[in-house]
Amino acid sequence: MEYRPLPDDRKTQFQDYLHYGFSLEDGPQSDHETDPDERAGEERALFDGDEMLCVCRHYWFRTRVRGRWCEMPGLSAVASPPEHRREGNVSRLLAESLAEYRERGDFLTALWAFEHPFYERHGWGLATKFVEYECDPDALAFTRESPLAGGTFRKLEADDYDILDSVHAAAHEGYDLAIDRTEEWWREKIFDNWRGDPYVYGWADDAGEVRGYVVYHVRDDDEGKRLQAKELVAADREARTNLLRFLANHDSQVERVSFYDPNETTLLDAARDPGDVDCEVHPGPMVRVVDVPTAIEALDYPLDLDAEFTVAVSDPLADWNDGTFRVAVADGRATCEPTDGPTDGPDGPAATDAAVATDSDVTTGIGALSQVFVGYHSVEDAETLADLEIRTPDARDALAAMFPERDVFLHEGF
pLDDT tens digits along 11-38? 999 999 999 998 888 888 777 766 666 6
Angle at 357 between CA 353 and CA 358, to 5 degrees: 115
- Chain-centroid distance, C-alpha 341: 34
Report which of 100, 1, 3, 106 is spatially closest to residue 55, judged by C-alpha positions: 3
- Note the pTM of the prediction, 2 decimals: 0.91
Domain limits, the chain:
2-106, 130-283, 292-402
pLDDT of residue 263: 87
Distance, CA of 53 to CA of 89 (rounded, Å): 7
pLDDT tens digits along 81-122? 999 999 999 999 999 999 999 999 999 999 999 999 999 999
Q: Measure the CA dihedral 64/179/5/98, to 10°.
A: 40
Whether the Cβ atoms of residue 185 and residue 194 lie closer than 8 Å to each other: no
Q: List the chain residues with pLDDT less than 70.
A: 33-38, 193-195, 341-358
CA distances from 73 to 81, 100, 238, 248 (A): 24, 10, 34, 38
Angle at 133 between CA 288 and CA 265, to 5 degrees: 75
pLDDT of residue 145: 95
- Judge: domain 130-283, CATH 3.40.50.2300: no
pLDDT of residue 194: 56
pLDDT of residue 33: 66
pLDDT of residue 357: 62
Architecture of domain 2-106: 3-Layer(aba) Sandwich (3.40)
Question: Within a 10 A sphere around the Cβ of 351, how many other Cβ atoms?
Answer: 13
pLDDT tens digits along 295-335? 999 999 999 999 999 999 999 999 999 999 999 999 999 99
Report which of 209, 202, 276 is spatially closest to residue 242, judged by C-alpha positions: 202
pLDDT of residue 350: 46
What's the CATH number for 292-402?
3.30.1050.10
> Matching CATH topology for 2-106 and 130-283?
yes
